Structure 1
Amino acid sequence: MAKEIRTFAVIGLGSFGQAVASELARFGNKVIGIDLDDRRVAQVAPILDAAVILDTTDELALREAGIDRYDVALTAIGRDIEASILTTMNLKMLGIETIWAKASSRTHHRILSKLGIDRVILPEQEMGRHIAQMLNNPVVQDYVSLGNGYNVVTIVMPERLEGTPLSALGIGDPHDVRLLGLMRGTEFRAAETADFALACEDKLILLGKRPELRRFGDSL
């Protein structure tokens, strides 16, 4: 069955907005990029389905551009807080199903949150936590927060654990973490048996709360 193509509107084409729009397009989605700066619009025009110069604080202009027909919209306007808020309000007025917005400060975050959109993000803070987690423990290669204290991490097996059975790692007891699987090269392995032998550079995909994941990482 063919993949359903989703439609995305990315408003604000600074480095963050351009990165999001480009990746969404690379995944095969239909993406429109919008900015007041003609140079930014020109940069993404070759890789997106559409790229337009538009004042998104004008609800009528957004409607005339057909933004109300898009499934998801991201307000990625950074420094101009007023434009970010007005744009996000206009997207709500247009009835777009899913709206995310980038905040540039905690105050900006609080204001956007009051608009009742699906998610407000502080990219610098989120990336900072991500980097800190990896710097804190060198075996942690990747880290995703799921909310409510739960995280998924990718931990790379050190060379000294080559051939060690999975049961020797103490997953589940004494370490209260859950193994979701592992990557061996480009191949995913379920690794369901306790005697499964680990290889150097295997990447364990683990679910748990941060303190437990940290203790497990430290034990390696």
Structure 2
Amino acid sequence: MYTRSFAVIGLGNFGSTVASELANFGDPVLGIDTNERDVAKLANTLSKAVIADGKDEEALKEAGVSNCDVVIIAIGEDLEANLLCTMNVKLLGVKTIWVRALNRTHHRILTKLGADRVIHPEHEVGQHIAQMLHNPLMRDYVSLGNGFHVVDFKVPAQLDGQSPSDPVLFSNHDLRPLGVMRDSRFLSCESRDMTLKDGDKLLLLGKRPNLRQFGDFLRDRS
């Protein structure tokens, strides 16, 4: 199986985490930063760790960035360095570029420069935490785009024995139950004989407002 190669430019908290996780997956990762200490920390973890300036196109080329399939530009507070690095990586012909953005204006500029995906780590993590804090029954969720999410709900005691096909539970909230994780088993909600059990992990597909209403509905019944 073909393994994609990655370069992570900017090895602060965010960049070093991304680079280390990719390396743990067995992917070849090139790490780049101007800070010698940050580079040294990952020297034994990544395939290659280099001290270089993202604002210098030639330095990036010599480091091997142009040979990577994907580049993640994780430079944080230095807006100029972030933008110039994005331009340089684009000029080097890298196929896929992900860039960390500082704000919405920065996001728009990066999009104009040709970034394939713009990341807002703090904003995205903050939204994720707020969703789970708002509804303690929500264990986790994944955004699918266009407003749709798949949510992992902990089935409360008041729904023990209920059928996923019960329209009062889901259809009335315009939600679709996908399945249940019970211990280490996945159970399809398409079976008419299947009933929910207290503590099940229920996977639901729907839009955020409907999922929020469902969470409120469950709290009102508790």
Instruction: Give the TM-score normalised by structure 1.
Output: 0.92
3-state secondary structure, aligned to 1:166: coil
- 2:71 maps to 1:73: yes
Task: State how far apart, in whole Å, the 1-side matches of 2:169 and 2:178 are.
Answer: 11
- 2:211 maps to 1:219: no
Residue in structure 2 matching 1:180, options 173, 178, 181? 178
Name the residue aligned to 1:106: 104
Q: Aligned-pair RMSD on alpha carbons?
A: 1.7
Name the residue aligned to 1:193: 191
Instruction: Give the TM-score normalised by structure 2.
Output: 0.91
3-state secondary structure, aligned to 1:208: strand
Task: State how far apart, in whole Å, the 2-side matches of 1:56 and 1:207 are.
Answer: 41
3-state secondary structure, aligned to 2:130: helix
Q: Deviations over 1:63-98 (max 9, x none)?
A: 112211111111000011101001111111111111
Measured at CA, do residues 52 and 170 of structure 1 come closer, stay the same or move farther in structure 2, by a change above 3 Å? Answer: farther
Name the residue aligned to 1:140: 138
Residue in structure 2 matching 1:62, options 60, 63, 68? 60
Conserved? CA contact 1:99–1:117, under 8 Å: yes
Q: Deviations over 1:171-209 (max 9, x none)?
A: 552121122322223333333213312222211122111
Residues 87-166 of structure 1: matches in 2 within 5 Å?
87-166=85-164
3-state secondary structure, aligned to 1:117: coil
Task: State how far apart, in whole Å, the 1-side matches of 2:215 and 2:174 are.
Answer: 12
What amino acid sits opposite 1:106 in the alignment? R
In percent, how many aligned pairs have the same letter? 56
